[in-house]
Amino acid sequence: MDHRRILLINPNWTGIQNQKQRQFKRLWPPLSLALAAAMMEQRGLEVRIIDNQVKACSPEKIGILAEQYDRVFVTSTPYDRWQCPSLDIRFFFDTLKPISKDKLFILGSHVTERPEAILRESRAKGAILGEPEQTMLDIACAESPDDLEQIPGLAWLDNGRLKKSADREYITNMDALPYPAFHLLDMKAYHYFPVMGKSFGILEASRGCPGKCNFCYMGMYGRRVRRKSVDRFLDETEWAVKKLGLKNLYFMDLEFAVNKRFVLEFCQGLQSRSLSLNWCCQTRVTDMDEEVAQAMAQAGCSLIHFGVEAGTDRILKQTGKGIRVKDCRRAVRLCKLFGIRTALFMNFGFPGEHDCEMEATIKLALSLDPDYAAFHLIVPFPGTILAGNCGLNPETFPAHQYPHYNFFDHDLQNLKKMLHKAYLKFYLRPRPIFNVLGDMLKNSQNMLFK
């Protein structure tokens, strides 16, 4: 193989400001790009990652840099956004404009779901569909970027008509993935502030989710759970702590504790290896029992994110999530019992949801009294069951724009009023104020004296 230079780009999400509801613009490393880069380096390719959330280069500067590379990959959705993509991606198209189209390949949730619209707008050479890393590697190693039909998992325009290669199978052997190429990123720039502070990174033990939540976009993962072995994931975690010096890790699995045996063995392994690590994860409330909560607390888990979603069993049943209000109460209670902080995701605007049910969501958040709560408007994102149930036609939207809320059933001003009420009622209480201030003070000190 000739000497080939590859550029991977995570855009700066300036366009997120155009959305009709707030969405966290968290500064986390783009894990999927780091994995693809590591795979390319194993094959002897020269790789560079520009995380423009950190670098904040202008599109013009990115275009000049891209001229030095043979193939350029740009994502609309880094790994931590695969499930809940941004709703306005003008920032993505702005990044693409100055890049030569004969070397440009695009990827991400939006690209996977609407390849034709995005290819027409971007004029990119090809669109990577679904889980991207192996397809990126195949493109990077191909003798000619014109041999698209030979590479599974691609879409492109041929004389104005959309064409696709064979489907790409999901990665089944997760242990075969390399450690992410975090050496290509400025890891000192990333943080989960104020919750965990700096010296921060994200890792994954598995992909996929057995849940049937109708509002989650699963086009990047698939439903089947594919998991690393306990020893392999312990090795990777130890590498991140001892080799990279990371002290705070978020395990980004969609449902980290779904396999009880795995999580218990992993927690035991963390303790036996004496890893000084503060970590958090997200999981389903029904995964928690006393044994799991105690093991996670003893192994350094300081925070768990739960998708509580709604405050009534009627709406929860409608979501397909398979949880009840009493399950949420039990999970939060167990976490408090063992000193694990909790952060809850709550949503407004489900189909047929009444104002009194949204009020019940606020009341549930208050009665559960977690350390943090995030309130959002539910989105019928193209490709989700919810979008299909609502009768959404994504082609009525421009390529850069996606539904910002469930406009089929709800008025935006009323939903925003509920959001405003929820945040005021939850956070203008003594305990949440002291939680936030305490975390800010603690992690500010860690950032100053690390």
Q: Which of 195, 279, 208, 281 is nearest to 240 (CA)?
A: 279
Question: 254 near 200, Cβ under 8 Å?
Answer: no
pLDDT-derived band at 440 (thresholds 50, 70, 90) equals low
pTM of the model: 0.93
Q: How confident is the model at residue 430, as a pLDDT?
A: 77
What phi and psi values does residue 98 have, to the nearest 5 degrees?
-85, 0
d(CA 219, CA 132): 11
Q: Which of 234, 309, 214, 223 is nearest to 258 (CA)?
A: 223
Cα–Cα separations (whole angstroms), residue 337 to 305, 331, 432: 16, 10, 18
d(CA 136, CA 34): 12
- From the number of C-beta atoms within 10 Å of its C-beta (0-12, 13-18, 19+), residue 290 rates as exposed
Calculate the average pLDDT of the chain: 93
Q: How confident is the model at residue 447, as a pLDDT?
A: 40
d(CA 22, CA 396): 23
Q: Tokens 């989700």 appear where? A: 384
* Model confidence pLDDT, tens digit, residues 409-436: 999 999 999 999 999 999 998 776 667 6
Q: How confident is the model at residue 449, as a pLDDT?
A: 34
- From the number of C-beta atoms within 10 Å of its C-beta (0-12, 13-18, 19+), residue 399 rates as buried
Question: What is the number of alpha carbons within 13 Å of residue 42 lying toward its C-beta?
Answer: 15
- Tell whether the torsion through CA atoms of 390, 391, 394 and 398 is positive or negative: negative
Query: Six-digit token pair at 332?
Result: 């939060």
Question: 227 near 259, Cβ under 8 Å?
Answer: yes
* Model confidence pLDDT, tens digit, residues 204-241: 999 999 989 999 999 999 889 999 999 999 999 999 99
d(CA 299, CA 301): 6
d(CA 134, CA 277): 31
Share of the chain above pLDDT 90, in %: 86
Question: 230 near 266, Cβ under 8 Å?
Answer: yes
- Which residues are 8's β-sheet partners? 49, 73
* Model confidence pLDDT, tens digit, residues 145-179: 677 789 999 999 999 999 999 999 999 999 999 99
Q: How confident is the model at residue 361, as a pLDDT?
A: 98
- The stretch 43-60 carries a mean pLDDT of 96
Share of the chain above pLDDT 70, in %: 92
Q: Which of 152, 155, 156 is nearest to 167 (CA)?
A: 152
Query: Six-digit token pair at 170?
Result: 């999901």
Cα dihedral 331, 336, 339, 341 in deg (nearest 10): 70
Domains, the chain: 5-164 (3.40.50), 191-449 (3.80.30.20)
Q: How confident is the model at residue 405, as a pLDDT?
A: 94
